[in-house]
Amino acid sequence: MAAVGLAALGYGSTFLAMRVALAHVGPFPLLVIRFVVAAAVLWPFARRRTSRPGVWRAAIAPGAALGAGYLMQTYGLRSVTGPVSAFLTYLLVIFVPILSAAWLRRIPSRATLAGAAVGLAGIWLLSGGVGALTSGELLTVGCALAFALNIVLVTRLRPGYDALRLATAEMVVTAAMCAGPALVYGRWSASPSALAWILFTAVVASSAGFTLQTWGQQRLSAARVSVLLMLEPFVAAVIGAAVGVRIGPEGWAGAALILTGVMLSELDLPRLMLAVRRGRQVHSR
């Protein structure tokens, strides 16, 4: 739980870095640089780790889903605002339970489903809502489905794969997925400051974030992971407010709902209800 929460914290902290970097370099080249650097940072540590055979083969499907998600999200951002993109991306909290139930035969707990619903309502408020779906917004919904697929694919992998080696392999596959569009639609020139922000994003969000998320996914259900990741827009909102982005009362109410949803998802509702019933029985005596 703590590992996935820290990963979400890292993802949310790169909100400002991505905005600054995208002003100086094309979105697809940015993705290639980000994931190549992330793989390069992880490789010296990953190569020393032991893992069951086939880790690179195992990373192909989740890495491809991750790459497809980032490509759709980035292309969608050409016509979709950041807040709306954040809301649509986190429709993954709906897709993950559906995929888990259909594919893994795992029904999420009531606490997880309740937390997902409350958190998604919070993201809706924080983003300002969504109107009629445009092509860019439909692409972002596709991104949410791809990210959900990545979470479920990693969760269903058999135990024994080292999280660090698996995350490194995913970074390589994702970079390869982004290389084609980057060569066609690339704008590769970047200022030193933009490169510095890209390096920050690569290390904090990709290297550290995906390693922590992968490690957490090997121990938690896919649905719980998706709800914990909703901390990302909450962190991004707090950092945005700190650097001068105005967030109205509705936005802060949404941020509070996100935090409430995440905490609600971690409650052991059956045990809590049992304790309440016992308390009532004692009180009635």
Residue 112 has pLDDT above 60, yes or no: yes
- Radius of gyration of the CA atoms of the chain, in A: 19
Instruction: Give Cβ neighbours of residue 205 (< 8 Å, ≥ 6 apart).
Output: 10, 11, 13, 14, 34
- Res. 176 pLDDT band, cuts 50 70 90: very high
CA distance 222 to 109: 11
First to last CA, the chain: 39
Instruction: Give Cβ neighbours of residue 150 (< 8 Å, ≥ 6 apart).
Output: 62, 65, 66, 69
Contact 126, 237 (CB under 8 A): yes
Residue 280 has pLDDT above 60, yes or no: no
Spell out the domain ranges in the chain: 2-284
Is the dihedral angle over the CA atoms 24, 28, 34, 40 positive or is it negative? negative
- Per this entry, what is the length of the chain? 285
Q: What is the mean pLDDT of residues 130-141?
A: 77
Residue 282 has pLDDT above 50, yes or no: no
Contact 214, 151 (CB under 8 A): no
pTM of the entire predicted model: 0.81
Instruction: Take residue 186 and report the two structure tokens written for it.
Output: 């690339």
Least confident stretch, 107-111, 234-238, 269-273: 269-273
The whole-number pLDDT of residue 99 equals: 87
CA distance 66 to 153: 10
Q: What is the mean pLDDT of residues 159-187?
A: 87
Q: What is the mean pLDDT of the chain?
A: 81
Q: What is the mean pLDDT of residues 72-79?
A: 80
The whole-number pLDDT of residue 127 equals: 72
pLDDT 10s digits, 193-239 = 778 888 888 888 888 888 888 888 877 788 888 888 888 777 777 77
Least confident stretch, 39-53, 141-155, 169-183, 247-261: 247-261
> Tokens 């979105």 map to which residue?
27
H, E, C per residue of the chain: CHHHHHHHHHHHHCHHHHHHHHCCCCHHHHHHHHHHHHHHHHHHHHCCCCCCCCHHHHHHHHHHHHHHHHHHHHHHCCCCCHHHHHHHHCCHHHHHHHHHHHHHCCCCCHHHHHHHHHHHHHHHHHHCCCCCCCHHHHHHHHHHHHHHHHHHHHHHCCCCCCHHHHHHHHHHHHHHHHHHHHHHHCCCCCCHHHHHHHHHHHHHHHHHHHHHHHHHHCCCCHHHHHHHCCHHHHHHHHHHHHCCCCCCHHHHHHHHHHHHHHHHHCCCHHHHHHHHHHHHHHHHC
The whole-number pLDDT of residue 227 equals: 82
The whole-number pLDDT of residue 69 equals: 92
